[in-house]
């Protein structure tokens, strides 16, 4: 399994790591059975993601996708952040091995979970903006639609 230089760089030198003081949106996705857990912290002011950080328990690809995802949404509007796809994260990292695609799915879901929490903290129903975020409750091989088990 070969990783790109960008994946290795974001794994060895992750950006925006740790808890974010003053975060007004926190989202966690993943499942210990699937092996990867991502927590994203965002600080939104005037509809702009002013700051973002993450804490990830998982493999090198999970750390790299978390790091890249934070870089891709920092300074963006909420609407722009909601448009970020796992494919865009993979493309920014110059690809991932097929067996690690689920890490980019989790990065996308972690951002949406943080934004969902932000909306809830503002007293706004997040469903029209974010929809449902699938959760993994299975061991690998039992496809539940979360992206991690496929």
Which letter does DSSP use for residue 16 in this model?
S
136 is catalytic: no
- Predicted confidence at residue 137, as pLDDT, reads 45
- Predicted confidence at residue 136, as pLDDT, reads 54
Is 43 part of any domain?
Answer: yes
Chunked into runs of 10 residues, the chain (150 residues) has average pLDDT values of: 93 97 96 82 98 96 97 98 96 95 94 97 93 61 45
Is 144 part of any domain?
Answer: no
**What range does the domain containing 33 cover?**
5-130
Q: Which helix (H) or strand (E) holds 150?
A: none
The count of C-alpha atoms lying within 13 angstroms of the C-alpha of 32, restricted to the half-sphere facing its C-beta, is 0
34 is catalytic: yes
Give just the sign of the alpha carbon dihedral 18, 74, 115, 97. Answer: negative
Number of separate domains in the chain: 1
- Predicted confidence at residue 143, as pLDDT, reads 43
Pick the catalytic residue: 34, 136, 146, 149? 34
Is 59 part of any domain?
Answer: yes
CATH classification at residue 80: 3.90.1010.10
Is 140 part of any domain?
Answer: no
Pick the catalytic residue: 103, 136, 146, 149? 103
Structure tokens at 88: 């865009």
8 A C-beta contact, residue 141 and residue 53: no
The span from the CA of 31 to the CA of 113, in Å, is 14
């Amino acid at each position: 399994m070969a990783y790109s230089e960008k994946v290795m760089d974001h794994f060895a030198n992750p950006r925006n790591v740790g808890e974010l003081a003053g975060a007004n949106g926190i989202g966690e996705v993943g499942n210990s059975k699937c092996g990867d857990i991502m927590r994203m912290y965002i600080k939104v002011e005037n509809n702009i993601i002013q700051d973002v950080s993450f804490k990830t328990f998982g493999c090198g690809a999970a750390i790299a996708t978390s790091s890249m995802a934070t870089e891709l949404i920092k300074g963006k509007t909420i609407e722009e952040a909601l448009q970020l796809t796992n494919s865009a994260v993979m493309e920014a990292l110059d690809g991932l091995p097929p067996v690690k695609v689920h890490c980019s799915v989790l990065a996308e879901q972690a951002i949406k979970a943080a934004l969902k929490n932000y909306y809830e903290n503002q007293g706004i129903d997040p469903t029209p903006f974010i929809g449902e975020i699938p959760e993994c409750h299975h061991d690998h091989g039992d496809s539940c639609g979360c992206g991690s088990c496929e």
